């Protein structure tokens, strides 16, 4: 018997799709705005590509995105999940977490608007992978959307500890300054599954048409290789 029963009562379709240098779930920041340098684009579908629909949005700094966990549509859903912040060993109710394994596969993120150009919204700090469907957008309103001095459950008890990222100069030279800054910030958040702790294991993370190979030992992430995936596809 499944843990959850849910029924589709509202038909929604993507109004846009997200474009990002992160092309898989591996490496996606666990929350929006953790990696504020991470650039992305909201590109509207033709039916919603109307300049007048964006009128006035340039006057806001932040935006709410309602989007879909498109990679988890067929995944089994449960009433409890294991948050990465708790090491993947402790369970919490799904409604007390931001787990991607949710009955309706919907995500909610606030992102910073960098600029709006030719009908495309350029944003910073999103926690969405490339190709993510977007269902709605709403402007962020500080007077109602920002709350200070509030409790945040188990998050208050388990502050996230970023990794130290070490990368040889010859590998650093393969990236533009912005790419390098963003990549280091993403890697510092430790993209590994939290139940993995093998210092000898080499992990791979796709980023901007490259495969970043790294290992983690005692809080230090060492980038050991960078492979251009465009070259691989051409062979």
pLDDT tier for residue 235 given thresholds of 50, 70 and 90: very low
Structural domains of the chain, with CATH: 16-145 (2.40.30.70), 161-234 (3.30.2310.20)
For 96-133, letters b (16+ CB in 10 Å) and e give ebbbbebeebebebbbbbeeeeeebbbbbbbbbbbebb
| Strand segments (E) across 26-73 | 39-44, 62-68
For 20: left if phi > 0, alpha if psi spans -120 to 50, otherwise beta; the answer is beta
* CA–CA dist 212, 229 (Å, integer): 10
> What is the per-residue pLDDT for 231?
61
The rounded percent of the chain whose pLDDT value lies above 90 is 69
Alpha helix ranges (H) inside the chain: 142-145, 154-157, 169-172, 177-188, 229-234
The 10s digit of each residue's pLDDT in 122-151 is 999 999 999 999 999 999 999 999 999 999
> What is the per-residue pLDDT for 9?
59
Instruction: Average the pLDDT over 10-22 and give the result.
Output: 92
The answer to whether the CB of 40 falls within 8 A of the CB of 29 is no
**Would you state the structure tokens that stand for residue 29, as one six-digit string?**
């920041």
83 Cβ contact partners less than 8 Å away, ≥ 6 residues apart = 90, 92, 97, 99, 154
The 10s digit of each residue's pLDDT in 28-70 is 998 999 999 999 999 999 999 999 999 999 999 999 999 998 8
* CA–CA dist 123, 132 (Å, integer): 14
């Amino acid at each position: 018997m499944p843990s959850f029963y849910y029924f589709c009562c509202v038909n929604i379709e993507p109004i846009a799709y997200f474009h990002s240098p992160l092309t898989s779930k591996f490496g996606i920041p666990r929350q929006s705005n953790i990696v504020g340098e991470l650039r992305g684009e909201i590109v509207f579908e033709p039916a919603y590509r109307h300049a007048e629909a964006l009128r006035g949005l340039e006057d806001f700094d932040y935006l709410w995105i309602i989007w879909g966990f498109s990679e988890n549509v067929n995944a089994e859903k449960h009433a409890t999940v294991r948050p990465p912040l708790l090491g993947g060993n402790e369970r919490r109710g799904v409604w007390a977490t931001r787990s991607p394994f949710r009955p309706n596969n919907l995500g909610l993120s606030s992102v910073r608007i960098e600029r709006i150009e030719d009908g495309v919204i350029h944003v910073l700090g999103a926690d969405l992978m490339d190709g993510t469907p977007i269902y709605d957008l709403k402007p962020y309103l500080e007077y109602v959307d920002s709350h200070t001095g509030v409790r945040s459950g188990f998050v208050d008890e388990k502050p996230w500890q970023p990794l130290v990222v070490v990368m040889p100069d010859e590998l650093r030279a393969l990236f533009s300054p912005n790419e390098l800054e963003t990549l280091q910030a993403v890697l510092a958040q430790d993209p590994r599954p939290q139940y993995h702790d093998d210092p000898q294991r080499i992990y791979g993370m796709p980023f901007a048409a490259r495969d970043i190979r790294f290992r983690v030992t005692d809080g230090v992430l060492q980038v050991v290789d960078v492979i251009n995936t465009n070259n691989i596809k051409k062979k």
